[in-house]
Structure 1
Amino acid sequence: MGRGRKRTVDQSSLVVSKGVKRLLPLFLFAALVLDVTVSALLTQNSFKAHPQTWKDFVKKRDLSLLFEKLALDLLVLALVRMFVLPLLTFVGVVTGSTKAAAPEAEEEVVNGGGVGGFFGAKRDGGTPNHTLRQPLLPIAAHHAGNGHHCRVADDDEGNGRRACCGLWNRKKRGSGEGHQRIKEEIEAAEALHFYKDVKRANRNKIIAESLIFGLSTLFQVYSGIKAVCFDVSTFKHSLSFPSLMVLSVICINAESIFCCMMIESFAKEQGIDKPDVHGHPLYFSKANTGHTCDLCRKRILKGYRCWACDFDICMKCMGSKTARVEGEGGVRGDKGVRSESEVTLKPMEYFNRALWLASSEWRLLACAFMSLLLASGTNLMSPIFSGHVFNAIKDENHPSFLHNIRIFVVLSLASGVFGSCRSLCFRVVQRRLSFLTRNRLFEGIIRQDIAFYDAAQTGDLISRMSWDCNAMLQPISNLLGSTLQSIFFFFGGLIMCFVISWRLSMLAFTTMLPIIHLTSKYAVFSQRLNREIFTFIGMANSIAQEAMANIRTVRAFSTEDVELKRYRQETKEALKRGIRDAFANAGTILLSNLIDYGASTLILLYGGLLVMSKNESKAISIGMLYAYLRFWNMIQSSYQSLQGVMNSFTKAAGAAQRVLSLMDSLPDIDPSSGVVATSQMSWSVEFQNVFFVYQMRPDVVVLKNINLKMESSEVCALVGPSGCGKTTMISLILRYYDPTNGKILIGGRELQSFNLKALHKHVGYVSQETQMFAKTIEENILYGCEEGEYTQEDLVTACKAANAHDFITSFPSGYQTRIGERGVRLSGGQKQRIAIARMMLRQPKLLLLDEATSALDAESESLVQESIDQLLESKEHKYTVVLVAHRLSTVVNANQICVVDKGVVTERGTHDSLMKLEGTYTKLVSKQLEKTKNMLY
């Protein structure tokens, strides 16, 4: 993992693409120029329409003349906006940028080691062997006298960093605990300084954006009032003034939005690029309350966050070269951790993938879209005819009343039919997408390499299949179900409002900008709180899952209250944040409703005046006022439905990344390709110069230059102390992993060339940790067998050979007895014998027994061992057996005994020959005899 590169980048640029970010100043300039141009045209037309008004204004100094007949004030305000808004934007960018650099964790210094020390090369596609690790950013300091003061020192890349000089000099002189304490003081001082700087910058950005939105709202209010009062009766083209006024308001809204986007995009915070850790820039945060590190899974307070996809990393992992190698997060294969940048997903990429997933249902989608268009069209027409109904009632026009009622009924029926058809098609598509996604995700998970499961957490995988799948599919469901309809209603209602009364619309829409500003700010605040809530709930669920899985241990130590206290603590933290979110939501709703009701009041007030107006150019009917209210409510509800759509797509992109990264991730070990193994081939096993290192322990070489051959139809026993690598050798034979270096041969052919599915049909395996499914005994024994492959007689024979038939038949349900989750209703010895029966039923050519008799008593062990001996001596079947055991009785009759110590085969031979050597094997036998001397059987 390379040294972290530092770049100045903003948080919002993760949402706004780089191309759009570069074009934002151009967009703002274009909006301002268009605004001034429109205002100039309005002014020119008003002077042409009222040539005498300017002279009257100069003589009488009557502002009402200027307000009602001339548009010069609009031009002046446009010029004011052209200078004031860019100035506020510049101030917001400057004051909203952080001045201090983010504190960086020093990377740990680790001695060279690992497998690279043995054969001097990194594994293909894996992680290089890191030796001496330097700090990400050295602190340079200046010390004068005995006082402590700070200055900004540049590192070798020219990046400024503030350091406490006196503390740094003390740190250099310190050692041991004092050194660590001084280091922590420096980190705490830097973190506090940076945190305050970020808070100041965010506060300044909010102030600048609020000023921009406030001024834009005032400009819109003024334009709306002027539109209401302006006299357009003398204009040559009656539509020119309304069109230009509407365009002017659009420009004002665009200017405010572009200004705020520029502040968010150009107000800089020091982010750090570490592509090997994460694909997006990471930003320091002092208060990651309720967050956990996505690598080590520990709760963190200060660390680094990705604002694009909610990735968190603690200071320790940020400074560790091996954090991603050893961490529990990310997608890894047998050849190492896959770079996050390989699977980073942007919102538009997520949208494209969603369309690709839905493309198989194009017929249903076409039908749904057609139904959506027809349903939306009928819904947009119904307010007009309902307005005509009210006009007919007012005029007491019975034929018109009945005619419009009939049309309204037809539109309502058509809307209901097309709406139900749309809902049916979209829901079927949603269900099929959910089915397809979940099945593909489970397929992606179940086919991953075993190395993936070494780092994965079961709860996290279940979360991906439930929460992340839901989060990924929810925006698609919303898009198909309501978002498209809301878009039609929003723009359709907007057009109809201006068609009915452009004056009323100019006044009513002055309230939209404040509502947008309030809801957008609340969305950011609520998103952060809700992530913390979900994190605490996830922690509480993990505590509950762990406690229930270990309920016997909890009960044995009477720690129910301890677990309950832990659970309550997490849920209490979630509750606190939920209450804060509720208060913030209530405040936002209050302000939004006040503004909304204010707009409704304006509509009723001015609309009523227009209804009662005697000026035919301004007047509207009461029916059209009712229709206008219907369209206004349609716009409001559509806007509320559309709120946070882009935020939901951004969040869904993060969830989709976690889902699609597994769906797209192919295992490094492909189980379905290669040569098909047969029972007639030789089943010898050979290790040639095998080295092996677990990814989660990259500095520990488990196997070192293993050279060993196990002949076909013979028994090879692996003995040695715990942790010496015996089980790892079994795992390599099963090809759970590929060797880090060297190769393994089966029947003289390299193991990697075999089709694993076919190979495993001829391999029987019993592990020291017996794994059972929550099924019947018979189903557990037949697990992995195809239907009809074995008879009931074969099943009973295998169970008798494993000394399991008697205890199985002692149950009331016999072979149909359900054994519970993980086989909790059976003893350890019973589960082990069922596992042995499962192995014997397959009649394998290669037997791998990893402490297969460890859970059996002496009598059962003797019976099972006798059965295994009989199988080996059978002339009809020949087996190659590789067994790992500590008990002397299990290995004494083996054709070859290999003593493994610290990953190296130190002795090899038969029992008698090894005893004559008086080496490690002799010591192991002596300890075993001493241990069993006083054992009661």
Structure 2
Amino acid sequence: MEPLLTVIFVVNMNTVWEKVMSTLRAQIFGRILIQKVEFFDKYKVGELTGLLTSDLGSLKDIVSENVSRDRGFRALSEVIGTIFILFSLSPQLAPLLGILMLTVSVSVAVYKRSTFPVFKAHGLAQASIADCVSETFSAIRTVRSFGGEKRQMFTFAKQVLSFQSSGIKLGTFKSFNESMTRVAVYISLISLYCLGGNKVKAGELSVGAMASFIGYTFTLTFAVQGLVNTFGDLRGAFAAVDRINSVLSGVQVDDSLAYGLERELRQQKAVDDEKYKLFFSNSSTEKNQMHYMSALKTSSNLFSLAWSGDVCLEDVYFSYPLRPDVEILRGLNLKLNCGTVTALVGSSGAGKSTIVQLLARFYEPARGCITVAGEDVRTFDKSEWARVVSIVNQEPVLFSVSVGENIAYGLPDENVSKEDVIKAAKAANAHDFIISLPQGYDTLVGERGGLLSGGQRESP
């Protein structure tokens, strides 16, 4: 019966936890995605990747370990049940054994508290490796053009050695913890033999009761060891949670972006799409309430304003959030007339790229405003603004999906038809080379478009 109940318990707990982790991972990803751009200036890609993969993965593994093995709730249940049986067998010996095991367990738990910084340092070292790998391989052409392979090797070796050092230190702490747990078991058994032997010799305890007591003591020691291991796992879990909180605490949600995203996801959820339901919290006081809320109101005439009105920068002051003491723009006034082409020319560092980033609303002016047809652009949510602003970067960026999906990425509707994709490709003079690819519009472009030539990447 016990094996069957174990299977039922483990399967159900694992299913519940997998669903919880999927929702948690999706909501943290969504939370990060709607931060202001300066958030991504502050944190490296590897750090954010590690947060969503290794940190959350370690939480999942810890829970799985404590559900499927003699740890956690099962160990606690065994401890309580065994103590009850031991008190029934010998009310004289059980309290002494309980006090002894409690004392040793508390000592082990106190020792484990000192391991928290070690767990945290190990996680940070792992994130540094992920960041180095991501940075190197994403810029492999730059590395190759400057002959930077040796430099990247040394950088990676430094991160690996740091991870190795923290891993050795963590292993040392774990070995001491295992030794202390075994010492607790041996001390408990030796004390039991001494005290129990005297009880049997004095006729206060039968040999059979003593044998049963010893057997249940073994059960208790293994259960206590399971609990101690659970406390050790919790150290790692707390370290992972601390790293997650250190990233997410104090961040600023881009309310203007969040408002439009909330509206669009609500519409998707209305068609019962399982992917989008992950980003909603069912425990909210309002049904289907999302975490991304703001008080902004959208404007239904944004497209007409953008097509017919001038864009003006009025007395704009701006400093990058991570460099607040360096003022990039000081009282800038600029008018971009509707229906004309305006070129910004200036020396390096004059603020040309900054103006483009302000127009794209990656950042907001510290003072002054940007208007379109006299309307402050901050009155529009950023999802709508992105529909009327087109940006062609010097370095084309492609996602690891098909050619057709990359073209559709820039169109307003996620459910765009293939005819619309082909129409856009023809407008960019890309249709002919696309249909010559092995799978045409369904051809995968590889990471960052690595399977296409430079000219082909620029066309879509």
Deviation at 1:610, TM superposition (A): 4.8
* Counterpart check, 1:436 vs 2:60: no
Q: Does 1:636 align with 2:221?
A: yes
Residues 790 and 725 of structure 1: CA distance in aligned 2, closer, same or farther (over 3 Å): farther
* Alpha-carbon shift at residue 416 of structure 1 (Å): 3.8
Corresponding residue number in structure 2 for 1:774: 400
Instruction: Map 1:244-283 to 2 at 5 A.
Output: none
Asked if 1:808 corresponds to 2:434, the answer is yes
Mapping of residues 297-446 of structure 1, within 5 Å = 413=1, 415-446=2-33
Identity of aligned residues (%): 26
Q: Which residue of 1 aligns with 2:270?
A: none
Q: Within 5 A, what are the aligned runs for 1:539-554?
A: 539-554=128-143
- Asked if residue 460 in structure 1 is aligned to residue 86 in structure 2, the reply is no
1:582 to 1:763, Cα distance in 2 relative to 1, 3 A: closer
2:37 to 450, 460, 478: 450
Measure the CA separation in 1 of the matches of 2:350 and 2:56: 41
Which secondary structure does the structure 1 equivalent of 2:343 belong to? strand
| Correspondence for 2:80 | 491
The alpha-carbon deviation at position 435 of structure 1 amounts to 1.0
1:674 equivalenced with 2:298 (yes/no): yes
Q: 713, 731, 739: which is aligned to 2:357?
A: 731
> C-alpha distance in 2, partners of 1:631/1:606?
16
1:641 maps to amino acid = G
Q: Tell me the distance in 2 between the aligned counterparts of 1:451 and 1:583.
A: 39
Count of aligned residue pairs for this structure pair = 415
Q: Which letter does structure 2 place at the counterpart of 1:503? A: Q
- Tell me the distance in 2 between the aligned counterparts of 1:583 and 1:753: 57
2:341 to 712, 715, 718: 715
Q: Find the structure with the greater CA-based Rg.
A: 1
Contact 1:676 1:759 in 2 (8 A): no
Given residue 245 of structure 2, which amino acid in structure 1 is its aligned partner?
Q
The residue type paired with residue 824 of structure 1 is G
Kindly indicate whether the alpha-carbon contact (under 8 Å) linking 2:83 and 2:220 is maintained by their aligned counterparts in 1. Answer: yes
Assess, with a 3 A threshold, how the Cα gap between structure 1 residues 760 and 495 changes in structure 2: closer, same or farther: same
| Paired residue secondary structure (2:344) | strand
Contact 1:518 1:592 in 2 (8 A): no
Deviation readout 1:83-134 (Å, 9 max, x if unpaired): xxxxxxxxxxxxxxxxxxxxxxxxxxxxxxxxxxxxxxxxxxxxxxxxxxxx
User: Once the 2 structures are TM-superposed, how far is the Cα of residue 654 of structure 1 from its aligned partner?
Assistant: 1.5
C-alpha spacing 1:693/1:512, structure 2 compared with 1 (3 Å): same
Conserved 8 A contact 2:369-2:376? yes
Aligned mates of 1:828, 1:543 — CA distance in 2:
25
Deviations 1:176-206 (A, max 9, x none): xxxxxxxxxxxxxxxxxxxxxxxxxxxxxxx
Aligned residue identity for 2:128: M
Greater percentage in helix? 2
Q: Does the CA contact (< 8 Å) of 1:444 and 1:665 recur in 2?
A: no
The answer as to 2:244 corresponding to 1:620 is no
Partners of 2:378 and 2:410 lie apart in 1 by 22
User: Does the 8 A contact of 2:82 with 2:219 survive in 1?
Assistant: yes
Q: 1:728 Cα shift?
A: 2.2
- How do 1:679-694 and structure 2 match up within 5 A? 679-681=303-305, 682-694=308-320
1:715 is paired with a residue whose SS is: coil
- Gaps in structure 2 of 5+ consecutive residues: 261-296
1:589–1:574: structure 2 CA closer, same or farther, 3 Å change rule?
same
Change (3 A) 1:429 1:735: same
Q: CA 1:816–1:809 in 2, change beyond 3 Å: closer, same or farther?
A: same
Query: TM-score, normalized by length of structure 2?
Result: 0.77
SS in 2 for 1:713: coil
Give the Cα separation in 1 of the matches to 2:236 and 2:437. Answer: 54
User: Normalization by structure 1: what TM-score?
Assistant: 0.40
- Superposition pairs for residues 174-323 of structure 1, below 5 Å? none
Assess if the C-alpha contact under 8 Å between 2:400 and 2:445 holds in 1.
yes
Residue 239 of structure 2: aligned partner: 651
Residue 590 to residue 788, structure 1, CA distance change in 2 (3 Å): closer
- The SS at the match of 1:669 is helix
Using the TM superposition, give the Cα deviation of residue 768 of structure 1 relative to its aligned residue in structure 2, in angstroms. 2.2
Q: Is the 8 A contact 1:676 1:754 kept in 2?
A: no
Report the residue type matching 1:775 in the other structure.
V
Preserved contact between residue 522 and residue 584 of structure 1 (Cα < 8 Å):
no
Secondary structure of residue in 2 paired with 1:766:
coil
Q: 1:550 to 1:714 in 2, by over 3 A?
A: closer
User: Compared with structure 1, are the counterparts of its residues 660 and 640 closer, same or farther at alpha carbon in structure 2 (3 Å cutoff)?
Assistant: farther
Q: Distance in 2 between matches of 1:659 and 1:437?
A: 15
2:449 is aligned to 823
- Residues 587, 428 of structure 1: CA spacing in aligned structure 2 closer, same or farther, 3 A cutoff? closer
Structure 1 position 692, deviation (Å)? 1.6
- Aligned 8 A contact 1:533 1:574 in 2: yes
Structure 1 unaligned blocks of 5 or more: 1-412, 835-937
Aligned-residue CA RMSD in angstroms?
Answer: 3.4
Partner Cα distance (1:712, 1:556) in 2: 41
Q: Judging changes above 3 Å, is the alpha-carbon distance between structure 1 residues 788 and 465 closer, same or farther for their aligned structure 2 residues?
A: closer
Q: Is the 8 A contact 2:318 2:365 kept in 1?
A: yes
Q: 2: distance between equivalents of 1:589 and 1:456?
A: 36
Instruction: Name the counterpart of 2:330.
Output: 704
- Cα distance in 1 for partners of 2:85, 2:72 equals 20
Residue 90 of structure 2 corresponds to 501
- Kindly indicate whether structure 1 or structure 2 has the higher relative contact order, using CA contacts under 8 Å at least 6 residues apart: 2
User: 3-state SS of the aligned residue for 2:394?
Assistant: coil
Secondary structure at the residue paired with 2:256? coil
Whole-angstrom CA distance in 1 between matches of 2:159 and 2:381: 48
Structure-2 change in CA distance of 1:537 and 1:711 (3 Å) = closer
CA shift, 1:451, in A, is 2.4
Change (3 A) 1:652 1:817: closer
Measure how far apart 1:795 and its partner are: 3.7
Contact preservation (8 Å) 1:522, 1:585: no
- 1:592 Cα shift? 4.1
**Residue 657 of structure 1: how far off its partner (Å):** 1.9
* Residues 193-242 of structure 1 deviation map (CA, whole Å, 9 limit, x = unaligned): xxxxxxxxxxxxxxxxxxxxxxxxxxxxxxxxxxxxxxxxxxxxxxxxxx
**1:567 maps to which of 137, 140, 156:** 156
Q: Secondary structure at the match of 1:739?
A: coil
Letter in 2 for 1:723: G
SS across alignment from 1:720: coil
Structure 1 residue 614 displacement after superposition: 7.4
Distance 1:569 1:688 in 2: 49
2:403/2:442 contact within 8 Å kept: yes
What's the offset of the Cα at 1:433?
Answer: 0.9
| Aligned equivalent of 2:425 | 799
Question: How many angstroms does 1:436 deviate by?
Answer: 0.9
Residues 597, 432 of structure 1: CA spacing in aligned structure 2 closer, same or farther, 3 A cutoff?
Answer: same
Distance 1:761 1:442 in 2: 23
Cα distance change on mapping 1:667 and 1:557 into 2, 3 Å: closer
Q: How does 1:58-97 map to 2 (within 5 A)?
A: none
Instruction: Specify the alignment match of 1:783 in structure 2.
Output: 409
Alpha-carbon deviation of 1:709? 2.8
Aligned-pair CA distance for 1:679: 4.0
- Give, in whole Å, the separation in 2 of the partners of 1:553 and 1:687: 35
Q: Which letter does structure 2 place at the counterpart of 1:619?
A: L
DSSP-derived class of the 2:84 partner? helix
In structure 2, relative to structure 1, the CA distance for the partners of 1:554 and 1:795 (3 Å cut) is closer
CA contact (8 A) 2:120 2:243 kept: no
Distance 1:703 1:569, change over 3 A: closer
